[in-house]
Amino acid sequence: MPQLDPSPWFLILIVSWLTLVIFMPIKTAKYQQLNDPTPKLHKGLAKSWHWPWP
């Protein structure tokens, strides 16, 4: 039964996984994070609000 012989597909499996493990972090690291996690304070936003109702 040829499907039980691991020599043809095992090498393809190993090479494809090594390709994914090596090259995908390089490609995904090129993208920059669009949302900056550190908030920036602006001068106009530091005032507290006064609400007219009690």
| Residue matched to tokens 């995904």 | 28
pLDDT of residue 33: 66
Is the pTM above the cut of 0.95? no
Whole-Å CA distances, 20 to 10, 15, 30: 15, 9, 16
**What span, in angstroms and rounded, lies between the C-alpha atoms of 28 and 24?**
6
Helix, strand, coil share of the chain (percent; to 5): 55, 0, 45
In this predicted structure, the answer to whether residue 1 has a pLDDT above a threshold of 60 is no
39 secondary structure, DSSP code: -
16 secondary structure, DSSP code: H
Q: What is the pLDDT of residues 33-42, one digit of tens each?
A: 666 666 666 6
Greater confidence, 30 or 16? 16
Two structure tokens written together for 21: 């493990």
